[in-house]
Amino acid sequence: MVPRTILAVLLACGIAQETSGQIDSRTVKLRVGETLESLLYDEDTDNDKKITIDDPRLSGTSRGDKRFWIPDVQGGLFEVTGTYALSNLLQELSLLRTAGADTASISAKVIFEPPTQRISRFIREHFWDGLTRRVDEQSLPVILSDEKTVSSDGHRYLYVPSSD
């Protein structure tokens, strides 16, 4: 067992991670493009733009070892280990790149977010608007342009209950 003093130093330096069940609350500021490319090179060993358990470790290298060190913009390092966390990191970096970010801060809470919480957050923050519709004057053009509203006669119909 590692003495508490040594563990505290390792945690402070970012060499060890808290394992008591609490998620690390640190945030790392990184260069999005560089980190994304480096992560894909290091961990996407089958070159499918995903990090999964199917990415083999490349013999004689550290590539595919499911461990990645994020270099922050101040020169520090933050370790991410495990397929799930690396996949989350890849997804976050991809979203940031799509948004046009050059540098960004990513919280360890997001990288190590439990799966059910992550799915719930993504539905709420990213997908909900695409899953629901308002039926009002402003949204009618969007509803009627949907290919699912075209009937066999080529016209677009919208059912409105008589009670509405």
Q: Is position 48 within any domain?
A: yes
> Percentage of the chain with pLDDT > 70?
85
Cα(120)–Cα(129) distance, integer angstroms: 14
Q: Look up the domain containing 31 and give its range.
A: 23-138
What's the sign of the alpha-carbon dihedral 17, 20, 21, 25? negative
Q: Is position 2 within any domain?
A: no
Q: Is position 41 within any domain?
A: yes
Please tell me the total count of domains within the chain.
1
Q: How many CB atoms lie within 10 A of CB 10?
A: 13
Compute the average pLDDT of residues 20-43: 87
Residue with tokens 């799915």: 119
What is the tens place of the pLDDT at every residue in 3-23?
454 444 444 444 444 444 455
Phi-psi group of 48: left, alpha or beta (phi > 0 → left; psi -120 to 50 → alpha; rest → beta): alpha
Q: Is position 4 within any domain?
A: no
Would you say the pTM of this structure is higher than 0.75? no
